[in-house]
Amino acid sequence: GNVALLRELGPKFDFDVVPVELISRGDGVDEPVSSTAIRRALAGGQVELATQLLGHHFEARGKVVHGDQRGRTIGFPTANIEVPKVICIPADGVYAGVLTRANGDAHVCAINLGRRPTFYEHADHSLLEAHLLDFDGDLYGETVRVSFSHFLRGERKFENIDALKMQLKHDIEQTRAVSKI
């Protein structure tokens, strides 16, 4: 919508309209901050740009559910987070971020958002998985927030489990580096 439409709908739905000046990105790009620009940044995996536009890291909230335990069996346990399908999420890929529990405890994590092509040839939806660094505990059933701070790489299919494990180690090193821990 726009200001004119909102002014027209205001009396009907009992709300006031107070227009404000458009806010620009501030990085030399002449584009106003808008929900469209934010969705476009997320769809392209540009979480750093989305952070700049939002004024905070993009977050997804969801419940930790049981998965197939593949991460645990190869030494990289993950929290599988059930995210409502109606929310806008970043492009499939690997990200650095933070998982925050309901009690406020925050844990740096390497995030995989994708269809896991190494294990599943034709997955029909993306899964959000977070490997919490230096954490050993049980999160099943908890509702958590996952904030995305840095895009690390796109999702890809690996030839074998050893190649995947080598890449996961590298992803964790990168997560530590960008998180400064």
Q: Which amino acids are annotated catalytic?
A: 129
User: What's the burial of 37, exposed, middle or buried (CB within 10 Å: 0-12/13-18/19+)?
Assistant: middle
Characterize 158-173 residue by residue with b for buried, 16 or more Cβ atoms within 10 angstroms of its Cβ, and e for exposed.
eeeeeebeeebeebbe
Cβ-Cβ contacts under 8 Å for 38 (sequence gap 6 or more): 50, 53, 54, 58, 88
Q: Considering Cα of 99, then 101, then 103, then 105, what sign does the dihedral take?
A: negative
Q: CA 73, CA 70: separation in Å to the nearest integer?
A: 5
Q: CA 117, CA 120: separation in Å to the nearest integer?
A: 5
Both tokens of 68, joined, read 């197939």
